[in-house]
Amino acid sequence: MGIALIWCLALIFIKWITSKRRGAISYDSSDQTALYIRMLGDVRVRSRAGFETERRGSHPYIDFRIFHSNSEIEVSVSARNVRRLLSFQRYLRSSRFFRGITVPNSSNILDDDYNGQAKCMLEKVGNWNFDIFLFDRLTNGNSLVSLTFHLFNLHGLIEHFQLDTMKLRRFLVMVQEDYHSQNPYHNAVHAADVTQAMHCYLKEPKLSKSLTPWDVLLSLIAAATHDLDHPGVNQPFLIKTNHYLATLYKNTSVLENHHWRSAVGLLRESGLFAHMSLENRQLMESQIGDLILATDISQQNEYLSMFRSHLDRGDLCLENANHRHFILQMALKCADICNPCRTWELSKQWSEKVTEEFFHQGDIEKKYHLGVSPLCDRQTETIANIQIGFMTYLVEPLFGEWARFSNTRLSQTMLGHLGLNKASWKGVQREQSGSGDDVDPTFEEMDSDILPQEPRLS
């Protein structure tokens, strides 16, 4: 009888929620000033919320469903929402909250969901050699939810901001669900990896003694949502297929703007910060946007130049809120492309995944005669060439300046791995080409505007 009652309650709850949702757009939020961005589809956001209306005008021959298998195409949006609700229901059924038991310490919420090995890994979440792939397996594909919730608790954010743990859990589940698991690289595991890296940077002495709880809160949310609803293709692809997002954002930081607006939608829909003042919520949304927009790889040189100038002048003052925010932008940029700075075992996996995503885009471009984007042609490019160019022209300059700012053991470890990984890819390159100096000139010749958006190559 107990199990039957639970299922009845669960079904009633699902029916009640789905009756208030259409597609993947929230109609039941307490914030009635906007409908919230949920996915690449029919999304409309009222201008009163500060966002323009999204209008669809995609290339008539491009349907993003072609990136997925036929079985995936048949899964409707409503089914996706049911999966999200069921995942939340599974949590409710297993948690002490659902059984009506008082939980004195919010960290105990972890006990019901984490097996022994995953909990042991979280005890070392600040280690640079943290294996996010293993952690994702141990958490049954819930690495982003599990890791981010743990970090919120570890940093004392739940208590400091008086967060409702159930709302926090719901928010994180929705975030994880809105990453596309079909993407080889830009998926929830990448977001979890970036969030773990961001945590490592927040622990660095220069930052840890200066950051406020507000800074940490923004950093973790931005890291977890920085690629939210990524379609698995880059900005040039969206532009040349006349995708409605490219039109909406005027071909500027198209993906980053969409990730940010999607994150804002989930924050509002979850009601996680509904108890805060409107002014603070708007400030939070704006500053999260500043962090996410900084990950636009086409703006790499501008941010790097500003960072280098500050370091040359020695005028960074972390007591200054604006300077702290700028450093957090640089930290998120580092976290986003830190894969070449991980151990070879981890870095190589990321390299293979991002190249697979690039080549998949190239295959689609060939099929529809769109012109293959740089680095996306599997017939002319190799993982080794792409990685060596990426490390040489993007990763090394950024992490060299970060080491100037924070000359710690972690910085030296990252640079050490970067050097070893680059040497390993050069070895692979020599085996493939028979010479040692064939660095792919693509990175040198291409304009930053046509660099694959957020290549996250690593």
Binding residues for AMP: 186-190, 227, 336, 387
Q: Which long-range contacts (CB under 8 A, 24 or more apart) does 419-425 make?
A: 420/344, 421/340, 421/341, 421/344, 421/347, 421/348, 421/387, 421/391, 422/340, 422/387, 422/388, 422/391, 422/392, 424/344, 424/348, 425/351, 425/383, 425/384, 425/387, 425/388, 425/391
Report residue 326 as tokens.
Answer: 């700028």
The greatest distance separating any two alpha carbons of the chain, rounded to the nearest whole angstrom, comes to 72
Give per-residue burial for 40-67: e unless 16+ CB within 10 Å, then b.
beebebeeebebeebeeebeeebebeeb
Q: Could you count the other beta carbons within 10 Å of the beta carbon of residue 254?
A: 23
Return all residues near 132 (Cβ < 8 A) that are at least 6 apart. 143, 147, 189, 192, 193, 196, 346
Whether 186 is a known active-site residue: answer yes
**Cβ pair 298, 451 in contact under 8 A:** yes
Positions at the binding site for Zn(2+): 190, 226-227, 336
Q: Where are the alpha helices (DSSP H) in 20-76?
A: 70-73
Could you list the beta-strand ranges (E) of 106-234: none
Rounded to 5 degrees, what are φ and ψ at 130?
Answer: -55, 125
Rounded to 5 degrees, what are φ and ψ at 11?
Answer: -65, -40
Catalytic residue selected from 150, 155, 180, 186: 186
**Cβ pair 448, 300 in contact under 8 A:** yes
Q: Which residues are catalytic?
A: 186
